[in-house]
């Protein structure tokens, strides 16, 4: 096959490219230039592009750089800012995968005559009885099926995850054996377009990034009865379920249970106020076909999957009814459905604010 492999300059995608070559594919590496501003992590800095290019040179494959900065800004950065402005905490990595890696790059691959696009994600795509399944990565600690959950059958049929069968340790060993400069490069953890450096006012990278683009407003912190407990500097940066920085004094653990951005108010309360018996999920994309019935549901990149029963409500939205009450999912996060054995992705969508309902 002719495979376009997305090379971020990290060890996983370096080894992915090497494995594809070993498997006899015709391989071309590509690094997507996504972010034009300051960056010190992830896949956008010039030194990461250098690493990707040098690995490609070492493997003897062509390396291209595609400029997708406009698409990235429109589909990832702008929504990230706009969501924060209304008190929603989005996951930009998922939106990048949705709009860039598995849409824009896929489309580009088709135009250029490639049969598949490969990335270094720890997940597996397997055809089982004619159905393309997105299966959790072999290394459960590194499994990334959650962040690539949004692919349909067409996308899955054109996607390869060469390191999905390996543990991270084996990936690094492979890179070391090949003498790759990326063998010991640390994993990227943070949002690629936000630097870890504090700005001149001592604000963290995230606060500074958002604060330069939208006004950040202080808010009063109250308990569930409306008693004022304190304040926060930026209501836009508070996340549902958050404890740190909003708990106030006293012995009981308090969590953010409601955020009123226009009213500049954050409500905190005991964990019991966060517990719900179901969650409504919108904009669901199914890997194969819509599913109702028992499932496992994961609500963050490395979150524990929980048991639930999936159904569809009158408005056509997917409802995950928990087997045991669970903490509410922060609006903007993705809920990803796995089969009852927690092996493969059924589909996934976004939790939105309007549909939260407390059991209390």
How many whole angstroms separate alpha carbon 101 and alpha carbon 156? Answer: 12
Instruction: Give me 213's structure tokens.
Output: 């683009």
Size, binding site for another protein by CB under 8 A: 17
| Residue 151 CB, nearest approach to another protein (Å) | 17
**Which of 38, 40, 54, 64 forms a contact with another protein (CB under 8 A)?**
64
Contact 353, 87 (CB under 8 A): yes
**Does the annotation count 43 as an active-site position?**
no
Q: In 246-264, which positions are buried (b, 16+ CB within 10 angstroms) versus exposed (e)?
A: bbbeeeeebbbbbbebeee
> To 10 degrees, the CA torsion angle through 263, 265, 271, 272?
-40
| Residue 65 CB, nearest approach to another protein (Å) | 4
Contact 31, 192 (CB under 8 A): no
**Which of 5, 11, 49, 336 forms a contact with another protein (CB under 8 A)?**
49
* 53 part of the interface to another protein, by CB under 8 A: yes
| Residue 111 CB, nearest approach to another protein (Å) | 5
Contact 344, 133 (CB under 8 A): yes
The residues pairing with 338 across neighbouring beta strands, listed in sequence order, are 296, 345
Q: Which residue has the tokens 């819509």?
A: 290
| Residue 284 CB, nearest approach to another protein (Å) | 23
**Which of 24, 60, 111, 249 forms a contact with another protein (CB under 8 A)?**
111
* 26 part of the interface to another protein, by CB under 8 A: no
Closer Cβ to another protein, 2 or 353, answer by number = 2
* 31 part of the interface to another protein, by CB under 8 A: yes
Q: How many CB atoms lie within 10 A of CB 6?
A: 24
* Stretch of residues binding another protein (CB under 8 A), selected from 71-79, 102-110, 160-168, 265-273: 102-110
* 33 part of the interface to another protein, by CB under 8 A: yes
| Residue 10 CB, nearest approach to another protein (Å) | 15
- 120: which residues sit within 8 A by CB, 6+ positions away? 6, 7, 8, 10, 11, 12, 13, 14, 15, 16, 161, 162, 163
* 291 part of the interface to another protein, by CB under 8 A: no
* 214 part of the interface to another protein, by CB under 8 A: no
**Does the annotation count 192 as an active-site position?**
yes
Instruction: Give me 27's structure tokens.
Output: 């391989």
Which residues of this chain interact with another protein, rule CB under 8 A?
31, 33, 46, 49, 53, 64-67, 69-70, 107-108, 110-113
Which active-site residues does the annotation give? 96, 192
């Amino acid at each position: 096959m002719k495979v376009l492999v997305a090379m971020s300059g990290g060890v996983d995608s370096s080894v992915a490219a090497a494995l594809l070559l070993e498997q006899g594919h015709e391989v071309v590496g590509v690094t997507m230039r996504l972010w034009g501003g300051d960056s010190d992590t992830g896949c956008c800095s010039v030194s990461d592009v250098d690493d990707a290019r040098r690995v490609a040179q070492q493997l003897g494959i062509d390396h291209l750089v595609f400029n997708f900065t406009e698409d990235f800004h429109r589909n990832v950065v702008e929504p990230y800012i706009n969501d924060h402005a209304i008190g929603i905490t989005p996951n930009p990595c998922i939106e990048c995968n949705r709009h860039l890696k598995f849409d824009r790059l896929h489309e580009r691959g088709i135009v250029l005559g490639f049969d598949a696009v490969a990335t270094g994600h720890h997940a597996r795509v397997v055809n089982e009885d004619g159905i393309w399944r997105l299966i959790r990565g072999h290394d459960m600690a590194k499994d990334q099926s959650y962040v690539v959950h949004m692919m349909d059958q067409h996308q899955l049929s054109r996607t390869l995850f060469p390191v999905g069968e390996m543990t991270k340790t084996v990936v690094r060993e492979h890179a070391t054996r090949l003498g790759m400069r990326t063998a010991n490069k640390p994993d990227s953890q943070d949002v690629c377009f936000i630097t870890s450096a504090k700005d001149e006012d001592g604000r963290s990278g995230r606060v500074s990034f958002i604060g330069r683009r939208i006004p950040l407003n202080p808010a009063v912190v109250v308990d569930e009865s409306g008693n004022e407990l304190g304040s926060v500097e930026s209501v836009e940066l508070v996340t549902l379920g958050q404890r740190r920085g909003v708990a106030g004094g006293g012995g009981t653990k308090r969590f953010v249970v409601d955020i009123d951005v226009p009213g500049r108010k954050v409500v905190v309360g005991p964990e019991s106020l966060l517990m719900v018996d179901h969650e409504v999920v919108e904009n669901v994309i199914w890997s194969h076909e819509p599913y109702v019935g028992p499932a496992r549901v994961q609500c963050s990149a490395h979150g524990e999957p929980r048991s639930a029963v999936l159904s569809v409500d009158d408005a056509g939205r997917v409802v995950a009814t928990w087997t045991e009450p669970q903490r509410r999912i922060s609006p903007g996060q993705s809920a990803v459905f796995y089969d009852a054995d927690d092996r493969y992705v059924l589909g996934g969508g976004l939790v939105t604010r309007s549909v939260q309902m407390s059991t209390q």
